[in-house]
Chain A
């Protein structure tokens, strides 16, 4: 596990030294400890550092949210967005960018409210329905319904507004500001703490709901904690960075393979490490190629999932 986090530190350092503004390495160093020019300090601290921290938080959150969803639904193809978080966020953002309704909320506020609203509806319905698979189906239906509403808004929008929206759906790590970070980081931290709380019940859930129930797990409560954690993690990341695909799906699988474990006590940090490393690589590639982060994360995540599927043939066992 140590080497994984060492790799994350190295990637973070590389990410800090790469960017479109030509800042010499020594200046990057001096930006932190004093002596850098004002412009270089602004580039390194106000832009690069925020962006790299955003990548770290986003990677960790999406990986953990994906892991939680995969265990809860006992479905290896679940990810942070199966319950309609990204569709809810998209609808919120579409209302802001395409119709101008509630623009005072801003893109971030609207996305977060959209994501949280969807998850609360699914969770509320889930309380009445015992079967977790029904919740999964509801989530998928909800996503499609909201996708349809977004399509209507897109259809009726002028080109330039459409472009803004489409670009939002491609994800961006560079829009988080320092005051927003003060909201972003604590929300993610809280989500991660909730995930740690959920680790033990999740271990038991792996053996089946009946087994978990007889072992003393209160299923309703465990589900509530997981939903809360996923809203905080994936909802917040989507609000600030847009939907970022495949990291949440691929990172937990890679964690399982690298550490050959199913215990959430180990899988949680493993997924965090893999997620952070993946996001930092995505950020680097997105900066070097000047391409949107969502395209990079898909191109990087898909081969990993394919490799997992082909190598282990049976995803539910690995």
Chain B
């Protein structure tokens, strides 16, 4: 606690020995920082004099404060269960798909993995299958609160680790969690190299946008059943738009969660938008709410959805590999908002709504 230089009231602190052989270690001994993330805010990797490493995860879900988990990593995890498809993508990016033994939502995986088992989803986990898979670690996430699986996993003696990629507010921060996962499977150096390449490409793309006379304004998401959920100013979606040289048509400040806007205001804002992206379930212009079909973005044929790569089960690769490839997402967005800056090539995640 002293090392971080601030008083941390530990509402919840947990040392989890991911494997035996590390007993008797104290968190205070891990005083050497071996990896301090450049973009991610939610973790750090430390080591002690014996060369053992500790993964410190902070506030891994929305609204968490002063919540810290310390995981002492004794040996590389060989059998991993992932509750989120983005964690599967991170392992795949490190060439470790073969270590994924169980997944929540196998049919949503857009990159099929051999010999992987369905373990159910939070609240309806198939614990029999989970135990039978003998995982070295289960990669968890919490939504608004700790994962409902935590108690049961602890009772069953199955090690778990929170991966907080989804609460990161920058696209590169999300992707940088691949280094934490790299450490977990004994491939940190490779993960650092891979992430370094992604970050360099992202930064280069961001800087490729020349000064603009007018920044295009963008509407995101789909108004549904009378309200429109708008990503906050301090959110990953807004960060992506700004890095792509665009501005959200509206972005609530002072919060990190989405804000619900009623239909009239949504319509008013839609009239100011040059582009409309991430239209959720709307797969064609005809699926948009009727009143929104005559807004400028639609008239100019500037409506795009992140659904180019959807598999038969309905899984979307944007939420899978898109999380580890923010550079590819950014490249798509720049080509949407500023045609001509980047050389012509096929889109990775986005397709135009017809």
Contacts and interface: CB of A to CB of B under 8 A. Distances in A.
A109 B72 CA distance: 30
Contacts of A103: 144-146
A47 B12 CA distance: 27
A156 B127 CA distance: 31
A253 interface: no
B131 interface: yes
Given A99-B63, A164-B123, A46 B134 contact: no
A92 to B, nearest CB: 12
B134 A39 contact: yes
Interface stretch (B18-26, B148-156, B188-196, B200-208): B148-156
Given A97-B145, A100-B144, A47 B63 contact: no
Contact of A164 (B127, B143, B154): B143
A46 B131 contact: yes
Nearest to A103: B145
Contacts of B122: 163-164, 167
Given A106-B151, A158-B258, A179-B155, A174 B143 contact: no
B98 interface: no
Contact of B155 (A46, A48, A98, A164): A46
Interface string B115-138: 000001111111111011010000
Nearest to B258: A158
A174 B62 contact: no
A175 to B, nearest CB: 6
B260 A156 contact: yes
A315 interface: no
A38 to B, nearest CB: 9
A167 B125 CA distance: 11
A174 B121 contact: no
Contacts of A99: 63, 144
B50 to A, nearest CB: 29
Contacts of A97: 143-145, 148
Contact of B131 (A42, A98, A179, A292): A42
Contact of A46 (B62, B151, B156): B156
A22 B258 CA distance: 44
Interface residues of B, number: 33
B257 interface: yes
A263 interface: no
A170 B120 CA distance: 14
Interface residues of A, number: 39
A103 B66 CA distance: 13
Contacts of B258: 158
A47 B62 contact: no
Contacts of B125: 174
B286 interface: no
Nearest to B227: A155
Given A97-B145, A156-B260, A157-B144, A172 B123 contact: yes
A47 B129 CA distance: 10
Contact of B127 (A47, A163, A170): A47
Contacts of B96: none
Contacts of B12: 104
Nearest to B166: A160
Which among B134, B154, B156, B227 has the highest number of chain A CB atoms within 10 Å?
Answer: B156
B315 to A, nearest CB: 15
Nearest to A174: B127
A307 B145 CA distance: 43
Of A46, A48, A178, A179, the most chain B CB neighbours within 10 A belong to: A46
A165 B11 CA distance: 23
B228 interface: no
B124 A20 contact: no
A39 B128 CA distance: 10
Given A46-B131, A99-B63, A100-B63, A175 B152 contact: yes
A276 interface: no
A21 B125 CA distance: 13
A177 B12 CA distance: 20
A100 B61 contact: yes
Complex A-B, nearest 3 residue pairs according to Cβ-Cβ distance, in ascending order: A167-B123, A177-B155, A103-B145
Interface of A: 19-22, 39, 42-43, 46-48, 96-100, 103-104, 106-107, 155-158, 160-161, 163-164, 167-168, 170, 172, 174-175, 177-180, 290, 292
